[in-house]
Amino acid sequence: MISRLLIVLAGIGSAAWATSNWRKAVQVTMVMVIVEGALRKWFLPSSQDLVYFAKDVVLLGAYVGFFRDQTRQQFKPPPLTLVKILLAASVLIGLIQVVNPNLPNVLVGIFGFKAYFYYVPLLWLLPAAFRSDAELWDFLRRYVLIAIPVGLLAVAQFFSPSTSFLNTYARTEGVTGTSINAITFGSSEYVRVTATFSFITGYTAYLLATAMLLLGVIGALRWKFRGNLLFFVALGMDLLGILMTGSRGPVVLLIAVYPLYWWLAVIRERGGGAAFGRLVVAMVLVAGFLAFAGEDALNAFYGRAQGVSDVPGRLSSPLLSPFAVLPEVGLLGLGIGATHQTAATLAPSVFPYSWLHGLLIEVESGRIMIELGPLGFGFVYLLRFGLCFVALRQVLTMRTRFHRALATASLLFFLTSIPGGVVFDVTADLYFWFFVGLLATAMRLDRQAIQEAGMATQVSAPRPQATLPAVAGLAQGAT
């Protein structure tokens, strides 16, 4: 009881700190999403429910600090009219859905609304949190390198037995502190790792997001090795982590978006031929690293993949499942949050998920259709497609390599989010809106660079490079 009280007091103090230091709080939140699971599993198992909301408390303080800070007006994001119209329509429908009579209580609807929209303000916070290329680059290069220690922990888990202290999962309701043995690959005794995360799903969302960030960072550096080896190590550890999770989805998604990355971030850029040569060398080295250091992970992953007989069904289910449940949900659905994993806890007096009338489905697209009906479903997915359109347009029109690389990373993540999960995985949800904010930040900084270059030309001064002193060539145009 005392420890839980201390955690609550620490949360209040953290929120107060975040209000005064909201720019740093945004960065802290992105780190907290990585370490939160470790705190829940190993350090504070009796207070897992409180730790689960820690990052949200810090981010709430950042929201308050942002809206109180008048200097934010200097760093407004670009208009993004299409995105904001679709977002406003989605939020309006979500608010209406909170009081959907099909829900067991309003609390389920409120928590469901939070799952969809709590991280939306990052669209406005990130462009103001990173006021220059230097600030953004400094954060990104440090952030992606966290993948190395996280990956090393995953390796230790992979080679430890499922009963090991390292291989436990957090429990959302988590007041018992009960440990749960890890899931194995089935074809072997190796475990499907979670690293610092509570469960496999959160770790795979982190790995996929980090892969996109690394591709963006390394692409901005034109795949040069000198001085950048740690980024390549991080990429290798990230890909190894994906194999050790045993999740096939991220592998399929990375393979699917790679040709687009090759075209947009490598071939289109000035010096694309040389960059492509370095990319090939890097991929060969990464493949060699995976074959040498991750042979057991490759074999375990291959064994699990061989055991799947319904691959076409799994690939088509995100597209088909919404239409399968459409006749049962009506125009407005069964209410926002109706299928959320915490709904049963929030409605203890009702038989779990009886309000769904047997409509239990795992795929996110189907769950969104059940909750919001065809109207809400349409706006949620129009927003995702709209973000892809905006990101692609920015990749093709931005003036500086660094900003184009970030727009490309955002585009790739948005594309993988269409068939993937966002709403019902808090890690993926946070990263989705982080990439929305990252795209808006890149757009603002690119326009700032153009304005500064124009002003310098008017006074006959040397044209400034809209990039970072430590990263040569990021401002070069596309060929």
pLDDT digits (tens, 9 = 90+) for 81-110: 999 999 999 999 999 999 999 999 999 999
Evaluate whether residue 413 is within a structural domain.
yes
Cα atoms found within 13 Å of the Cα of residue 252, Cβ hemisphere only: 13
On whether both 129 and 159 belong to a single domain, the answer is: yes
pTM of the model: 0.93
Is the model's pLDDT at 470 over the cut of 60?
Answer: no
Q: How far apart are CA 146 and CA 158, in angstroms?
A: 19
* Predicted confidence band of residue 455 (pLDDT cuts 50, 70, 90): low
**Domains: count for the chain:** 2
On whether both 32 and 121 belong to a single domain, the answer is: no
Q: How far apart are CA 344 and CA 350, in angstroms?
A: 8
Higher per-residue confidence, 134 vs 296: 134
Chain-centre distance of CA 227, in angstroms?
27
Handedness of CA 288, 289, 291, 293 (dihedral sign): positive
What's the pLDDT at 46? 85
Token digits of residue 248: 């096939």
On whether both 6 and 143 belong to a single domain, the answer is: no
What's the pLDDT at 36? 95
Token digits of residue 143: 């952030």
What's the pLDDT at 304? 76
The residue segments making up the domain with residue 329 are 79-458
Is the model's pLDDT at 383 over the cut of 90?
Answer: yes
On whether both 345 and 392 belong to a single domain, the answer is: yes
Evaluate whether residue 464 is within a structural domain.
no
DSSP string, 22-76: HHHHHHHHHHHHHHHHHIIIII-GGGHHHHHTHHHHHHHHHHHHHHH-GGGGGGP
Mean pLDDT of 329-348: 93
On whether both 58 and 103 belong to a single domain, the answer is: no
Cβ atoms within 10 Å of 374's Cβ, excluding its own: 16
